[in-house]
Amino acid sequence: MEKLTTDEPSANTSIVPIADRPVVLALIKALPQGTVLLGGDVTGRSAGIWRTDHLKAQVLVRPKTTEEVSLALKICFEHHQSVVPQGGLTGLVEGGLTEPQDIVLSTERMTDIEEVSADERTLTVQAGVVLQTIQETAAQHGLMFPLDLGGRGSCTIGGNLSTNAGGNRVIRYGMARDMVLGLEVVLADGTVISSMNHMIKNNAGYDLKQWFLGTEGTLGIITRAVLRCREEVVDAPTALVAISSFDALIAFLKHADQGLRGHLSAFEVMWHNYYTLVTTPPANSHAPLSSQWPYYVLVEAMGSDENQFSDVLASAIEASLVEDAVLAQSSQQQASLWALRDDVAQTFQFAPVFLFDVSLRLPQMESYVAAVNLALAERFENPRNFVLGHVGDGNIHFAIAVGGDSAEDRAGVEAAVYAPLEALKGSVSAEHGIGLEKKPYLHLVRSEAEINLMRTIKRAMDPRDILNPGKVF
Ligand SMILES: Cc1cc2nc3c(=O)[nH]c(=O)nc-3n(C[C@H](O)[C@H](O)[C@H](O)COP(=O)(O)OP(=O)(O)OC[C@H]3O[C@@H](n4cnc5c(N)ncnc54)[C@H](O)[C@@H]3O)c2cc1C
């Protein structure tokens, strides 16, 4: 792959001890005490959730304000210093991985909730606020922030926005980019772009925030955001249903969406083997529905009333779209159904596990999953492929275990997943992003012209290639 050219040679080849490097000395001098961490305080940190390795970087800067981020980047820019932004490190595509010469810019101390406007239904926050804190703050003010995903307790809004996270309610509320009204970022040279817009409508020229949403920290560091909330939804009827065929599943999605009249807020599918895994010991000793069916769907309808929801389920059973169903009777039962869906970590019983996040058209899903399983069986002795996903959004996740994780195993598993996907013109990343992990496969989804345009944008906005270099392309 072509290497991005920079306007001047990199200074990262220095053999001076890290703490004595001019860039580090300049950062320590310019920033308040306690902002720059070195050595074991950095290398002792985990490289990411679900990872067993540690940070390779030896310097970590943890600013508290946009001004400090700007100052840090200005210094790094002057010294041609690579900077890797990090939020909660729950990303699943190696987007926050570091090399020894990198400096980490962590938003862990940027945790202010600056404003809650109940009338405008907005929250103004710093980038390091944890998603669950945002959800809870919104709820305390009678609002709802619709972004939700399994990593909610650790991931930050800055990470969510820079990966354009999807999650559980995309079918109703869209992805992270649809929940942002204003954004503040710091560019590679330290310039602050503050577009803290509060209006839903604002077509005055380019919508600059889009450059930074989903671009994985390669074009700028997100420091603050104005988030769009909704009025709090009190009722969210939730059910788990069993389905006997993929055709019935597709028909049930349409049936539910039509019948719920705009209230369908989640349509999460668990394939038989994932459902069995999370409902049997050691994961669990209770299965809400018997495990004889090929598909299980968690359906949620925020704002729907119980009667409407029950009617839709009853008519689906009558039309033989649904074989069996359990309707949550309390918020505790709702939470326990969601806990099954979110319990992906159970697949680690079979570690090492390769995780995938692909998207494709709904009618192609059944044959695609069959093609992946066939390709795995041809290559490996006893492969396991746990399948689940936000199927209402065309998004499937695989957790694949083949007994090893050698380079050869990885190549074999990736070929099994991506070769049939390429033929169907699906995407190698539905919601997690590209990072380093999916980088070799970006060309399956994006044309050469598209990737070249991405490079042109990167060069224009980060001419010294200091922001998360080497990630995405
Ligand atoms: C249990 C679990 C469930 C998940 N479920 C979902 C899901 O349903 N849907 C989904 O989309 N994702 C999901 N994810 C992955 C998802 O990408 C992350 O959870 C989250 O969005 C990343 O936030 P973070 O703060 O942890 O970012 P990090 O992991 O720290 O960083 C992610 C990327 O963003 C960059 N970055 C971080 N902060 C900033 C910033 N302030 N400015 C610029 N760049 C920045 C990093 O350099 C990196 O490239 C899940 C992860 C886990 C562990």
Ligand 1 atom 52, closest CA: 151
- Residue range 308-328: mean pLDDT, rounded: 97
Same topology for domains 113-231 and 347-433, yes or no? no
pLDDT tens digits, residue range 241-287?
A: 999 999 999 999 999 999 999 999 999 999 999 999 999 999 988 89
pLDDT number for residue 19: 81
pLDDT number for residue 15: 65
pLDDT number for residue 5: 33
238-342 has which fold? Alpha-Beta Plaits (3.30.70)
> Is residue 340 over pLDDT 70?
yes
Percent of the chain predicted with pLDDT > 90? 95
Please give the distance, rounded to the nearest whole angstrom, from the Cα atom of residue 163 to the centre of ligand 1: 6
| 167 in contact with ligand 1, CB cutoff 6 A | yes
Q: For residue 220, which atom of ligand 1 is closest to its CA?
A: 43
| 96 in contact with ligand 1, CB cutoff 6 A | yes
> Is residue 11 over pLDDT 60?
no
Q: For residue 164, which atom of ligand 1 is closest to its CA?
A: 11
Please give the distance, rounded to the nearest whole angstrom, from the Cα atom of residue 444 to the centre of ligand 1: 23
- Residue range 85-94: mean pLDDT, rounded: 98
| 215 in contact with ligand 1, CB cutoff 6 A | no
Architecture of domain 347-433: 2-Layer Sandwich (3.30)
Please give the distance, rounded to the nearest whole angstrom, from the Cα atom of residue 91 to the centre of ligand 1: 4
Distances (CA, A) of 149 to 48, 153, 188, 430: 17, 9, 30, 14
Where exactly are the structural domains of the chain? 113-231, 238-342, 347-433
Residue 369: pLDDT band (50, 70, 90) is very high
Phi and psi, residue 400, nearest 5°: -110, 130
Is 0.85 topped by the overall pTM? yes
The whole-chain average pLDDT of the chain stands at 95
Please give the distance, rounded to the nearest whole angstrom, from the Cα atom of residue 135 to the centre of ligand 1: 16
Decide if domain 113-231 falls under CATH 3.40.390.10.
no
| 159 in contact with ligand 1, CB cutoff 6 A | yes
Please give the distance, rounded to the nearest whole angstrom, from the Cα atom of residue 123 to the centre of ligand 1: 20
Ligand 1 atom 8, closest CA: 167
Q: For residue 150, which atom of ligand 1 is closest to its CA?
A: 3
> Is residue 131 over pLDDT 80?
yes
Residue 386: pLDDT band (50, 70, 90) is very high
| 151 in contact with ligand 1, CB cutoff 6 A | yes
pLDDT tens digits, residue range 164-197?
A: 999 999 999 999 999 999 999 999 999 999 999 9
> Is residue 13 over pLDDT 70?
no
Please give the distance, rounded to the nearest whole angstrom, from the Cα atom of residue 221 to the centre of ligand 1: 14
| 155 in contact with ligand 1, CB cutoff 6 A | yes
Please give the distance, rounded to the nearest whole angstrom, from the Cα atom of residue 451 to the centre of ligand 1: 22
pLDDT number for residue 8: 39
Please give the distance, rounded to the nearest whole angstrom, from the Cα atom of residue 70 to the centre of ligand 1: 22
